[in-house]
Amino acid sequence: MATDVRKDIPDNYKYGWYDADAKYVNVKKRGLTADVVREISQTYKKEPQWMLERRLKALRHFEKRAMPTWGADLSGIDFEEIYYYLKASDKNVQSWEDTPDYIKRTFDKLGIPEAEQKYLAGVGAQYDSEVVYHNIRKDLEAKGVIFTDTDTALREHEEIFRKYFGTIIPANDNKLAALNTAVWSGGSFVWVPPGVDVEIPLQAYFRINSESAGQFERTLIIAEEGSKVHYVEGCTAPVFSTATLHSAVVEIIVKQGARVRYTTIQNWSHNVYNLVTKRATVEADGVMEWIDCNLGSAVTMKYPSVYLVGERAHGEVLSVAFAADGQHQDAGAKMVHAAPHTTSLITSKSISKGSGRTSYRGLVKIYPGMKKSKSTVRCDALILDQTARSDTYPYMEIDEEDVSIGHEATVSKVGEEQLFYLMSRGLTEAEATAMVVNGFIEPIVKTLPMDYAIEMNRLITLQMQGAIG
Amino acid sequence: MTVATAAPVLPLARDTVERLSAARQEPGFLRDARLAALARYEATAWPSGEEEEWRRFPLRDVPKVDLERIIDTAHPPSEYTSVPLDAARHGLVFDRMIDVARTHPELVRRWLPSGEGIGSHDAFRALSDALFAHGSGFLYVPAGLHVELPLEVHKRWRAGTDPIVFRTIVVAEANASVTLVEELSAEPGGPRLAVPSLEIHAGPGAQVRYVGIHRFPEDVWEIGQQRVLSARDSQLASFNILVGSARTKLGVESDIRGDGAEVKLYGLVAAGDGQRIDVNSFQRLDGKASTSDLLYLSALYEAAKAVYYGVIRVEPTSSGTGSYQECRNMLLSDKASADPVPVLEILTNDVARCGHGATAGALDEEEMFYVMSRGIERLDAEQLLVRGFFQRVVERIPEPQVRARVLAALAPRIGRIAELDTAAA
């Protein structure tokens, strides 16, 4: 097995390996032009004309739009140095046995097979830019649930795909959404028929496995009236020495009375720029929950949004951010109340360590006439070192009187007394700190499926040991 | 893009500054300071509207006043100052800036430079440094002097469209203590611009309390800046009562440099009609064990809008500091609105406490029900609840006569019940 970890990356980065024998079927080409977009759409994907036109239009938006001037420092991104499309294997296989060995090895290290044995409903695992492994449990198929990679969805379910694609996040929303729309590849597509309750979480793993490989997955989830689904996305990436860009777009449509939970555990290696646009619209009586855990990457800018467009719709974001040395986690949430009697809740827990910086950046917007709307924002930050930094930027725009909106934030450090107490029980300082940190994020971790909760606690412990030991 | 949204800068001629200085028969150093400020004004762009502090303020629509008209001396503001009888004997100086510049030039020379402040207010700070005129005052409290009675000044401008530009400088030397109450008003008549600037220097161990009651009429646009500097172990409390003006922009900055300093920044906003009260604050903490707390409460009627953007910055070199920002908005009409944005930037883990809270919402129906079930009419019940809402700030003012003044200023907006002074009991 080929394992190569660069020297400047901490040894404790657990998933810092890549498969040297991974084969790429197309010739790698850096940079982005209309020809690259045409090649992706027509040569490789053989997409319908309308999709090519969408991509080309999005490319023009991308070229016109300026980079965001707020938030994190993005000056390290060189769009000319990025590969916009890579394909590790040219066919999509249905069974695990047919999956190429080197890809299996990658997933072995991530523990996918065990997870599958336990309760996986289906696995859409994205290896570089194309989904190579897909498996849907028979009973889900019987219920009429569509869970596939986004490219297949475009081929096999074009009508429903075209109806919703780009309706929640249009190409001109922001520069990075435009980029994604131009070069998107892979991602998951979920359609849940009316009234269907998908009892087990749907899962997909995303990884970046090539130097300067851009990853532009596109996820579209439609929960029809009264349906229920939980989608889990876990990300780990091997370590490379030049900056890598991950710029996904996730669109979710929660119809009347439906309920969607979207859980992310993000652990990109420390050279990845993770710039993601995630947004959901929720119709009357629907519920949308984002659970967003950001541990890795050099820079993350991610603000899952919920547009509450139907009465009594409810939106929730639970966010955990951990910034170690050199990392900047600029994460948050956005709640837009565009119907009366809507409610939202944002809970953010952030931890900064060494020279790490966490920023909570959020918006609560209440339009005029959205009576009896309620929103609560709660941000807690834990700063572990004198050199660490924590910021809170909670924006609020309240244009309606008959509402109740609150925001609260606290910042603290790990108490000497807590450490002393734990260490007097025989723990090392690193173990004691990890325990305090795990306790701090407990309210959010307990909402994760058990496997993920365990992984999350393990990741935190690893991060802490990296600091002290 | 920046060019398109930028506000038209009000031009200021050198001749205007020179003539103003000559008309006031100022000493040469004041004239030179004005001309230096003019050079700064010419070199400084107005806010483009992209700065966080100015994003929500319609600076483009600022009244196009003729700055030259400030020379019009026919409309001096009325000032009523009550100076304690023999305090002057102990070295207290409290007078119009122009008079202090003649009687104590060394003091004015020393404290005149306004220094740095919130960057996006630079243009307006330079404007007021170049053009400060009637209404400018200087308060100096020598080391160790305790001024028992609050010093009060009411600045009232006659009707007109001439700009209102003035500076207030407060200096409290080591271990001195003083309270200054400043009430600002004008007769209505014509669109007008007011640019008040305030600087407070609290020396080591000094105690300073400042109460500013802003009740300009509805045709005035007020763009003000305040800067308070705290030396070690000083205690500083500032109160801004914002009830007037069509548009108010107020930048409040607190800079703590010494250890053990305590700063309290309070604000009460009572606005109605189409008023827009826009406050931005910057609380900088450095040194050991200092504290800085901000509390702004707004009661918003009709189509009023309150905007608050504030930053707490805890410097990496600080240790054990405590800070809090709190902004609460009571929306009393379905057209009222509020945009509270409290921001924290914390660059160290060595903090005793740091946090913020912001709320916006209607009157609590349960509280209304409780009050009305005691036989009180709805309107009175509402007034009572707003009065109670403001109590947290009002009760921080120890002198009954100052509280009465604050409550009287609030009464036209929140009702006569405002004048009940429950803290007196």
B364, closest residue in chain A (CA to CA): A404
The minimum CA-CA distance between A270 and chain B, rounded to whole Å, is: 21
Rounded Cα distance, A13 and A238, in Å: 9
Q: Are B242 and B272 in contact, with CB atoms under 8 Å apart?
A: no
Q: What is the number of other CB atoms lying within 10 angstroms of the CB of residue B64?
A: 9
What is the pLDDT confidence band of residue A270, given thresholds at 50, 70 and 90? confident
What is the pLDDT confidence band of residue A133, given thresholds at 50, 70 and 90? very low
What is the pLDDT confidence band of residue A28, given thresholds at 50, 70 and 90? low
Q: What is the pLDDT of residues A208-235, one digit of tens each?
A: 544 444 588 899 999 999 999 999 887 6
**B202 at interface of A, judged by CB pairs closer than 8 A:** no
**A401 at interface of B, judged by CB pairs closer than 8 A:** yes
The answer to whether the Cβ–Cβ distance between A368 and B334 falls below 8 Å is: yes
3-state secondary structure (DSSP) of residue B119: helix
Residues 357-386 of A with CB under 8 A from B: 368-369, 381, 383-386
The answer to whether the Cβ–Cβ distance between A413 and B347 falls below 8 Å is: no
What is the pLDDT confidence band of residue A141, given thresholds at 50, 70 and 90? confident
**B352 at interface of A, judged by CB pairs closer than 8 A:** no
The answer to whether the Cβ–Cβ distance between A407 and B359 falls below 8 Å is: yes
Q: Are A309 and A338 in contact, with CB atoms under 8 Å apart?
A: yes
- Among B307, B333, B346, B350, most A C-beta atoms within 10 A, so best to mutate, is B346
DSSP state for residue B204 in the 8-state scheme = T
Q: What is the number of other CB atoms lying within 10 angstroms of the CB of residue B116?
A: 11
- Exposure of B134 in the CB half-sphere (CA atoms within 13 A): 22
**A389 at interface of B, judged by CB pairs closer than 8 A:** yes
| DSSP H/E element including B226 | strand B220-230
3-state secondary structure (DSSP) of residue A62: helix
**A324 at interface of B, judged by CB pairs closer than 8 A:** no
The answer to whether the Cβ–Cβ distance between A407 and B349 falls below 8 Å is: no
B337 vs A contacts (CB less than 8 Å)? 368, 397-401
Rounded Cα distance, B131 and B36, in Å: 11
Residues 405-464 of A with CB under 8 A from B: 405-413
Q: Are A409 and B357 in contact, with CB atoms under 8 Å apart?
A: yes
Between the alpha carbon of residue A326 and those of residues A352, A466, B419, the distances in Å are: 10, 13, 56
E-state strands within B33-86: 78-81
Structure-block tokens of residue A79: 């769009």
- Tell me the CA end-to-end span of chain A in Å, nearest whole number: 28
**B78 at interface of A, judged by CB pairs closer than 8 A:** no
Q: Are B18 and B39 in contact, with CB atoms under 8 Å apart?
A: no
Q: Which amino acid does the sequence have at B13? A: A
Between the alpha carbon of residue B97 and those of residues B109, B111, B138, B179, the distances in Å are: 11, 11, 5, 18
Number of CB pairs, chain A paired with chain B, less than 8 A apart: 114
Which one has a higher pLDDT value, B290 or A242? B290
A397 vs B contacts (CB less than 8 Å)? 337, 339
Which one has a higher pLDDT value, A48 or A203? A48
pLDDT at A32: 87
Q: Are B236 and B200 in contact, with CB atoms under 8 Å apart?
A: yes
pLDDT at A157: 95
Q: What is the pLDDT of residues A411-425, one digit of tens each?
A: 888 888 888 888 998
Q: Which amino acid does the sequence have at A425? A: R
Rounded Cα distance, A118 and A111, in Å: 11
Is A100's pLDDT higher than 70? no
Closest CA to A42 of A30, A52, A34, A28: A52
pLDDT at A119: 31
Q: Which of B337, B355, B359 sits opposite A410 (nearest CB)?
A: B355
Q: Which of A369, A389, A405 sits opposite B346 (nearest CB)?
A: A389
The answer to whether the Cβ–Cβ distance between B339 and A397 falls below 8 Å is: yes
Q: Which of A395, A401, A410 sits opposite B332 (nearest CB)?
A: A401
pLDDT at A307: 97
- Among A355, A392, A414, most B C-beta atoms within 10 A, so best to mutate, is A392
Between the alpha carbon of residue A66 and those of residues A31, A60, B54, the distances in Å are: 18, 12, 21
A374, closest residue in chain B (CA to CA): B361
Closest CA to B414 of B277, B269, B240, B245: B269
ipTM: 0.77
Range B295-319 burial, b when 16+ CB lie within 10 A, else e:
bbbbbbbebbbbbbbbbbbbbeebb
Q: Is A341 left (phi over 0), alpha (psi -120 to 50) or beta?
A: left
Q: Which of A383, A397, A403 sits opposite B362 (nearest CB)?
A: A403
E-state strands within A178-298: 188-192, 202-207, 218-223, 228-236, 244-246, 249-254, 259-267, 272-282, 287-294
**B344 at interface of A, judged by CB pairs closer than 8 A:** yes
B348 vs A contacts (CB less than 8 Å)? 383, 386-388
The answer to whether the Cβ–Cβ distance between A394 and B359 falls below 8 Å is: no
A403, closest residue in chain B (CA to CA): B361
The answer to whether the Cβ–Cβ distance between B354 and A411 falls below 8 Å is: yes
Signed CA dihedral, A335, A294, A112, A134: sign only: positive
The whole model's pTM is what?
0.83
Q: Which amino acid does the sequence have at A309? A: V
What is the pLDDT confidence band of residue A80, given thresholds at 50, 70 and 90? confident
What's the count of helices (H) and strands (E) in chain A, helices before strands? 11, 21
CA angle A238, A244, A245 (to 5 degrees): 120
The answer to whether the Cβ–Cβ distance between B339 and A388 falls below 8 Å is: no
Is A383's pLDDT higher than 80? yes
pLDDT at A5: 40
Q: Are B238 and B267 in contact, with CB atoms under 8 Å apart?
A: no
The minimum CA-CA distance between B17 and chain A, rounded to whole Å, is: 38
pLDDT at A69: 83
Closest CA to B261 of B289, B238, B283: B289
- pLDDT tens for each residue of chain B, 425 residues long: 334 445 557 899 999 999 999 988 899 999 999 999 999 999 998 998 889 999 999 998 998 888 888 876 555 665 656 666 667 778 899 988 988 999 999 999 999 988 788 999 999 999 999 999 988 999 999 999 999 889 999 888 888 888 999 999 999 999 999 999 999 999 888 789 999 999 999 999 999 999 999 999 999 999 999 999 999 999 999 999 999 899 999 999 999 988 999 999 999 999 999 999 999 999 999 989 999 999 999 999 999 999 999 999 999 999 999 999 999 999 999 899 999 999 999 999 889 889 999 999 998 888 899 989 998 898 899 999 999 999 999 999 999 999 999 999 999 998 877 677 765 44
pLDDT at A185: 86
Q: What is the mean pLDDT of residues A103-129?
A: 46
**B317 at interface of A, judged by CB pairs closer than 8 A:** no
Q: Which of A385, A394, A395 sits opposite B349 (nearest CB)?
A: A385
What is the pLDDT confidence band of residue A348, given thresholds at 50, 70 and 90? very high
**Strand pairing category for A357-366 and A328-337:** parallel
**B334 at interface of A, judged by CB pairs closer than 8 A:** yes
Is A309's pLDDT higher than 60? yes
Closest CA to A238 of A462, A4, A24, A467: A4
A413 vs B contacts (CB less than 8 Å)? 349-351
A357, closest residue in chain B (CA to CA): B347
A396 vs B contacts (CB less than 8 Å)? 338-341, 358, 360
Rounded Cα distance, B329 and A402, in Å: 12
A370, closest residue in chain B (CA to CA): B334
Rounded Cα distance, B243 and B407, in Å: 11
Q: Are A173 and A307 in contact, with CB atoms under 8 Å apart?
A: no
Q: Which of A368, A386, A401 sits opposite B350 (nearest CB)?
A: A386
A386 vs B contacts (CB less than 8 Å)? 316, 348-350
Q: Return all residues near B185 (Cβ < 8 A) that are at least 6 apart.
A: B154, B155, B156, B157, B215, B216, B217, B244
The answer to whether the Cβ–Cβ distance between B340 and A384 falls below 8 Å is: no
DSSP state for residue A51 in the 8-state scheme = H
A392 vs B contacts (CB less than 8 Å)? 342-344, 356
Between the alpha carbon of residue B357 and those of residues A211, A350, A407, the distances in Å are: 44, 17, 5
Closest CA to B270 of B186, B226, B214: B214
Is A463's pLDDT higher than 50? yes
Q: What is the mean pLDDT of residues A296-321?
A: 95
